[in-house]
């Protein structure tokens, strides 16, 4: 879909993102209760002015917890996406520049990784990492990066192939420069626009990936107030106190909508396909 006014999408997206950034940055400071404070209210209270998302089984204020989760979700998503785009771009630009058998091997390998459905791939990494690493933020960043790496590699290889046909690359080759140097000095500056949009598109899905892993029990560990994990924790409150489930869900959904609108506007200007489903 292309909103007819890309700037409107960009503006709305930006507004939502700024709001989320403010909530993530200052929310915990102005939150009505401490995120781990028990008996902030009676256990399992419904939504009210005092507790916008109600309280949980231990009487913790769900809204204060959700506010505290913002910066966790955002920083994990940004770090994972950044790592995935940087590593993927390095692999893709190198493959596209060097060509030949190295390119062939890297692309076949990326095809094999892409044939494993991404969520299953992510769960597999967490499982194989073992109990020692499970639940650590570093592993989660690595998982997001690993899911994005082969995807970004293919995109940036395609971008590199367009650039390597140009004269200045030929000149660099004739000067006898190595593939890695050419990729960095000649190809990267010309592919940077593609990579930035790539980063924006991928960043839009990263919070969902982080949340899904949390929801399935493969992400951060309780009592971290990560939104997907909170939704799983409060699942059995669905009939009595649904706000505990849908409050954190609302935070996650609005963050993703903001990211997607922003990217929609950005990609409409850069005339690349906007965000679809999946990473």
Partner 1 sequence: MRILRLILARLVASAFTLVLVSVVVVVGVQGLPGDAAARILGREAPAAARARLREELNLDGPLVGRYLHWAGGAVRGDFGTSFASRLPVAGFLGPRLLHTLALSALALLFYVPLSILPALVQARRPDGPLDRAITVVTVLILSAPEFLSATLLLFAFAVIWPLFPPMVQLTAGMGWGAYLHMLLLPAATLGLLLATYGVRLLRESLIDIHRADFVRMAEFKGLSDRRVLWRHVLPNALIPWMNATALNIAFMIGGVVVVEKVFAFPGFGSALVDALQLRDLPVITAGVMVAAAIFILVNLLADIGALLASPRLRTLG
Which residue ranges make up the site for partner 1 (CB under 8 A)? Answer: 1, 4, 108-109, 111-113, 115-120, 123-124, 126-128, 130-131, 207-208, 211-212, 215-218, 228, 231, 235, 238-239, 242, 245-246, 249, 252-253, 256-257, 260, 275-278
3-state secondary structure of 61: strand
Question: Residue 114 or residue 270: which is nearer to partner 1 going by CB?
Answer: 114
Residues 6 or more apart whose Cβ sits within 8 Å of residue 99: 164
Question: Residue 52 or residue 217: which is nearer to partner 1 going by CB?
Answer: 217
- Residue 264 CB, nearest distance to partner 1 (Å)? 8
- Residue 121 CB, nearest distance to partner 1 (Å)? 8
Question: Residue 88 or residue 219: which is nearer to partner 1 going by CB?
Answer: 219
- Residue 171 CB, nearest distance to partner 1 (Å)? 34
Assigned token pair, 37: 């404070």
Assigned token pair, 6: 């890309």
Question: Residue 179 or residue 207: which is nearer to partner 1 going by CB?
Answer: 207
- Residue 104 CB, nearest distance to partner 1 (Å)? 12
Q: What is the distance in angstroms between the CA of the first residue and the CA of the last residue of the chain?
A: 18
- Residue 225 CB, nearest distance to partner 1 (Å)? 16
Helix, strand and coil content of the chain, in percent to the nearest 5, comes to 70, 0, 25
Question: Residue 71 or residue 246: which is nearer to partner 1 going by CB?
Answer: 246
Is 140 in contact with 76 (CB distance < 8 Å)?
yes
Question: Residue 41 or residue 228: which is nearer to partner 1 going by CB?
Answer: 228
Assigned token pair, 146: 């690993």
Alpha-carbon span 96 to 172, nearest angstrom? 15
Is 69 in contact with 226 (CB distance < 8 Å)?
yes
- Residue 223 CB, nearest distance to partner 1 (Å)? 20
- Residue 13 CB, nearest distance to partner 1 (Å)? 11
Is 156 in contact with 89 (CB distance < 8 Å)?
yes
Long-range contacts, 110-115 (Cβ 8 Å, 24+): 110/150, 110/153, 110/154, 113/149, 113/150, 114/150, 114/151, 114/154
Question: Residue 50 or residue 257: which is nearer to partner 1 going by CB?
Answer: 257
């Amino acid at each position: 879909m292309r909103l007819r006014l890309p700037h409107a999408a960009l503006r709305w997206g930006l507004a939502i993102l700024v709001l989320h950034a403010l909530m993530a940055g200052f929310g915990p400071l102005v939150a009505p209760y401490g995120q781990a404070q028990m008996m902030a209210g009676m256990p399992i209270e419904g939504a009210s002015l005092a507790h916008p998302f109600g309280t949980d089984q231990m009487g913790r204020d769900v809204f204060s917890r959700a506010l505290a989760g913002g910066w966790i979700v955002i920083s994990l998503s940004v770090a994972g996406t950044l790592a995935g785009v940087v590593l993927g771009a390095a692999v893709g630009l190198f493959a596209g520049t060097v060509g030949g058998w190295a390119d062939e091997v890297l692309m076949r390998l990326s095809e094999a990784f892409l044939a494993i459905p991404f969520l299953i791939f992510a769960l597999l990494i967490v499982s194989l990492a073992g109990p020692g690493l499970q639940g650590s933020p570093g592993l989660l960043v690595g998982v997001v990066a690993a899911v994005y790496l082969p995807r970004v590699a293919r995109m940036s290889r395609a971008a590199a192939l367009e650039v390597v046909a140009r004269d200045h690359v030929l000149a660099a080759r004739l000067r006898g420069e190595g593939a890695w140097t050419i990729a960095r000095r000649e190809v990267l500056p010309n592919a940077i626009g593609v990579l930035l949009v790539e980063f924006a598109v991928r960043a839009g899905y990263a919070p969902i990936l982080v949340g899904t892993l949390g929801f399935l029990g493969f992400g951060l560990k309780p009592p971290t107030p990560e939104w997907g994990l909170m939704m799983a924790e409060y699942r059995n409150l669905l009939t009595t106190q649904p706000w505990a489930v849908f409050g954190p869900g609302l935070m996650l959904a609005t963050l993703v909508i903001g990211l997607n609108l922003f990217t929609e506007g950005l990609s409409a200007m850069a005339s690349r396909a906007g965000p679809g489903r999946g990473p």
